[in-house]
Amino acid sequence: MLARSGGASGAPGHRELTGISAASDPKDPQVTQTDADAKPNNERPRRTGPVTFTKQVAGELRKVRWPTRRELVTYTIVVLVFVVIVLAYVSVLDFAFGEAVTWLYGTFGTPSA
């Protein structure tokens, strides 16, 4: 059990933890093994069969909070508006770069004789 004491001076602002041994003694019952210190489990995880998998999937789908019709319509509209905005942005960039490349090849692309 961890307890807080007042420290050597006993001042209320100076506290120290007691009950923790400074050296990690493997025979000390207070020292516990952490996950990082644990030996790795070399056993392969057991696979489930298709019937068990299907039952687990159905159980997980029962836990899902499905959207209402209103939420679904709202989310669909938001996605479609966003797609149209990105489509317009990419189209403008495509047109601008196409015009820039055409201008560059028209200006600097013809060899002078």
Query: Mind listing the pLDDT tens digit for each residue in 33-73?
Result: 666 666 666 777 788 899 999 999 999 999 999 999 999 99
Q: What is the DSSP letter of 5?
A: E
Over the range 84-107, which residues count as b (16 or more CB within 10 Å of their CB) and which as e?
Answer: eeeeeeeeeeeeeeeeeeeeeeee
Residue 43's pLDDT is 77
Q: Is the pLDDT of residue 112 over 70?
A: no
Residue 107's pLDDT is 81
Q: Provide, rounded to the nearest whole percent, the portion of the chain with pLDDT above 90.
A: 48
Q: State the pTM of this model.
A: 0.46
**Number of neighbours of residue 34 by Cβ within 10 angstroms:** 7
Specify whether the CB–CB gap between 108 and 100 falls below 8 A: no
Most distant CA pair in the chain: distance in Å?
97
2: closest CA among 12, 23, 16? 16
Over the range 35-70, which residues count as b (16 or more CB within 10 Å of their CB) and which as e?
Answer: eeeeeeeeeeeeeeeeeeeeeeeeeeeeeeeeeeee
